[in-house]
A and B are shown apart, each in its own frame.
Chain A
Amino acid sequence: MSMPSLRNDWVVMAIFAAAVLTAPIWLSPVGAGYPDLLQKFAIFGLFAIGFNILFGLTGYLSFGHAVFLGVGSYTAVWSFKLLTMNVLPAIALSILVAGIFAVVIGYLSLRRSGIYFSILTLAFAQMSYNLAYSVLTPITNGETGLQLTMQDARIFDEPTTSGLPSTELFGMSMSGYSGFYFCAVLLIIGFFISLRIFRSPFGLKLLAIKSNQTRMRYTGFNTKPYLLAAFIISGMYAGLAGSLMAVTDPLAGAERMQWTASGEVVLMTILGGVGTLIGPLLGAGIIKYFENIFSALNPGELHQIFSWLPDWLENIVVAISSEFVGDGWHMTLGLSFMLVVIFLPGGVIEGVGRAYTKIRTLLKSDEANESDESVLEPEPVLSAEKE
C-alpha cells in the first residue's frame, strides 16, 4: 500500500466538498433533501468522524464519548446566554471546553487499555450525566434542560425586545438552508483534518499502536502522548458536534450525555466501516436517514405500501413489518447492527468493496468466456493487482 499523493487528496476533497454542498439536490429524490435532516447528517457525521479518529485508528473503544457532545452543547448555550447569539464564539468555546474535558478524562482513562479503558470512559460519562441531573442543576438546569430566556445577559448583543433571539452568523440567521451550509462547511473542514490525520505520520503511529502497541513501545516510542492527542482531537470533534446541535436548536439536556448516546456513535462508526475515512459519515447518514423514515411509518402507511399484495399476505407482511417501524425502529437498528458485526466487521464500506470485487470477477469470467479462453490479456490482471 503506497501513500497516496497530496494531489490525490485534493481530488478527494474536491469531490467530497462538491458532494456535500450539492447534497440538498441529490438527496431530495429519496426524501432527505430538507435542511433539518441534512443538518443532522452533518452533525452526527462530524461526531462519528471524530470518534473514528480514536476508535478507528488506535482501537481504543470509548463508551463515554457523548459526554463531550453534552459539554459542547452546554457551553454553546451558555455562550448564547451570556455573550452573544453569534455562533462563532459559541463553537470556539465549545471545542475548547470539550478539549479540556478530554484532556482530563483522557489522561486518566488512557492509563488502561482494552475493556478497562471502555469502562473508565463509561464511568466518567455516567458521573457527568448523573451530576448534570443532580447537583449541577444551576449550570445545566437539570431535567428541564438549559434554554434561552429573555433575562439572559448577552453582553455583546443589543437587548432584544420581541421574542427570543435566534442564532446567527454576523446577521445571517442559522435556520433553514443557511444553517445547513454552515454545518456543511464545518463538515468539509472536519473531514479534511481527518483526511490529513489519516495520511500523516501521526496517523500512521496511531495505526501502529492499534496493531501492536507493545512493539511500538519496544522500538522506543512513548505511545501515551499520541493516544492522548488522538483522544483530545476526537473529543473536540464531539464538542463541535454538540455545539452545532445547540446552534440548530439552542437547547441542551443531560440525556445527550447518557451512555446510550455514546453507544449510538459507536453504532454509526461500526455500521459505516470503522477505520475508513468516509465510513463513519456514511454510517451516521444511514442511521439518521432510516431513523427518520422508519420511525415515522405507521401500520396505516404500511398497508398502503403493501397494498399490491393479496389481502391475506398483506396483513401478514404488515403485521410483521410493523414491529420494525415506528417505535420499533430501535429493533431494526439493533438487528442490523448485530448482522453487521457478525457478517461484515468492516461495515458498509467493506460490503461495497466485496460486492465490487465480486462483480469484477463475474464480469471478468464473462469476458474470459466470450473471448478465446487461451488468450489472457496481461494488462487487466496487473491493474487488478494494483487496487
Chain B
Amino acid sequence: MDAIFLQILNGLDKGGAYALIALGLTLVFGTLGVVNFAHGALFMLGAFCAVTLQKILTISQKVRDESITFFEAYKEQPYLEIWFGDFGTKIIDWSVPISILLAIPIMLLIGLAMERGLIRHFYKRPHADQILVTFGLAIVLQEIIRSFFGANPIPTPAPDIVAGSAQIGVLLGLGESVVYPWWRIIYLLFSGLVIFLVFAFLQFTTFGMVVRAGMHDRETVGLLGIDVEHKFTIVFGIGAVVAGLAGVMYAPILPPDYHMGMDFLVLSFVVVVVGGMGSLGGAVAAGFLLGLLQSFASMNEIKAILPGIDQIIIYLVAVVIILVRPRGLMGRKGVMED
C-alpha cells in the first residue's frame, strides 16, 4: 500500500514535468501549426537560467581564511555575503526560486525572438522542414550552452529548508516509513499552478479568447480584423516561458547539463501525440497519465513479470495510441488524424 502510494506520488511528479513541457509544445502547435523540435532546448535554457543566476550570485572574492592560523589560507567568499551578511547567504540559498523571476522575462524574449526571427518563415513550409530547422536550432542552442558551461552536469541545489524529505506518511496516517523529498512535492504543486494559470489565462481573458478562437479557425478570426499573427507570436513566447519554468524548477531534481533538452524532447512529443496534437487538456492529462504509467512500470513486481517494460512503456503507449486512435486521447476530430 505504502509503495503504491509512493509510486503514485512519483508518477504525478514526473507527470508534472511532462505535462508542463507538452503544454508549451502543444500550445505552439495548436496555434501556429509549427512542429517545434527546439522545445526541449527551451526547457534546457530554463534550467540554465537557474544555473546562471546561481553563478552570478556566488561571484566571489578571495578573502583570508581566519580559521586557519598556521599558514596563509584563502577562501572564496561571495560578494553578496560580504555586503549583506546573513541576508546574502539566504539569497544564495534561495537562488533557484528567485531565478523564476529571471527566467520569465528571459524565456519570453527568447521565445519572441525565435518566432520573429526564424519560425515565422516556416509557417507555409511542410512539417518536415519545420522539424529539420528547429532540430538544427536545438543543436546550436545546446552547443552554445556547452561552450559556456561545459559538458558536465552542474549541481543546483534547492533551498536548505526544503532540501530534506517530508514525513508525509505521518501527515496522512500511513506510517513513518512513507517519506518523500520536499522539492518534488513543491514541483508537483508548482506544475499544477502553472497549468492552472495557463488555462485561466486562455479561458478568462479576452486575449485568451482570441487565441482559442484562432486555434479553431484562424482565417475567420483574421477576417474579423484581429491581428492573429501578432497574438500567436505572444503565444509562442508563453510556450517558451512554460517550458523554461519547467526547466528552472527541475534543476534541483536533475543537475542540468547541455543535452537534457534532447532527452525530454522525445518524451514530450510522445506526450503531445498521446494527448492529441493541439489539445491542451489532452497534453496535461497524457503527461500525468504517462508519468504514472512509467512509475508503476518501474516497480519491481511488474518488472519481474515483464522485464524491461519500464524502459519502453511510454513509447509502447504512444505506438498503440497512434495506431488505434491517431487523434490522441482528447484531440479534436479532424485535426491531424491521418
> Which residues of A pack against B, CB within 8 Å?
59, 61, 63, 108, 111-116, 118-120, 122-124, 126-127, 130-131, 133-136, 259-260, 263, 266, 270, 323, 327-328, 330-331, 333-335, 337-338, 341-342, 345
Contact = CB atoms under 8 A, between A and B. Distances in A.
14 contacts: A59-B128, A61-B128, A115-B35, A122-B269, A123-B315, A124-B315, A127-B312, A259-B266, A331-B140, A331-B144, A337-B135, A341-B133, A342-B118, A342-B121
Contacts of A130: 308, 311-312, 315
B338 A337 contact: no
B135 A263 contact: yes
A124 B319 contact: yes
A116 B125 CA distance: 17
B311 A335 contact: no
A126 B139 contact: no
B139 A119 contact: no
Contacts of B229: none
Contacts of B125: 345
Given A61-B131, A130-B311, A259-B266, A119 B323 contact: no
B147 interface: yes
A136 B307 CA distance: 10
Contacts of A270: 132
B129 interface: yes
Contacts of A342: 118, 121, 133
A345 B125 CA distance: 10
Task: Give 4 nearest A-B pairs by CB, closest first.
Answer: A334-B139, A135-B308, A331-B143, A130-B311
A338 B137 contact: yes
A65 to B, nearest CB: 14
Contacts of B277: 115
B147 A323 contact: yes
Nearest to B316: A127
A242 to B, nearest CB: 21
A259 B118 CA distance: 24
A10 to B, nearest CB: 34
A220 to B, nearest CB: 20
Nearest to A274: B128
A337 B136 contact: yes
Contacts of B215: none
Chain B interface bracket (under 10, 10 to 19, 20 to 34, 35 or more): 35 or more
B75 interface: no
A327 B146 contact: yes
Given A108-B319, A119-B318, A130-B311, A331 B139 contact: yes
A116 B273 contact: yes
B234 interface: no
B140 A335 contact: yes
A135 B297 CA distance: 14
A341 B139 contact: no
A71 B135 CA distance: 25
Interface string B134-162: 01111110011011000100000000000
A115 B151 CA distance: 31
Contacts of B252: none
Contact of A338 (B140, B147, B319): B140
Nearest to B272: A119
A119 B270 contact: yes
A118 B266 CA distance: 11
A116 B336 contact: yes
B227 to A, nearest CB: 25
Given A123-B319, A130-B311, A338-B140, 9 more contacts: A115-B35, A118-B131, A127-B316, A135-B311, A263-B135, A327-B151, A337-B139, A341-B129, A342-B118
Nearest to B132: A341
B127 interface: yes
B198 interface: no
A135 B308 CA distance: 5
Interface in B288-316: 307-308, 311-312, 315-316
A131 B311 contact: yes
Contact of B322 (A119, A337, A345): A119
Contacts of B135: 263, 266, 337
A328 B319 contact: no
B282 interface: no
Contacts of A126: 266, 312, 315
Contacts of B143: 328, 330-331, 334
A283 to B, nearest CB: 13
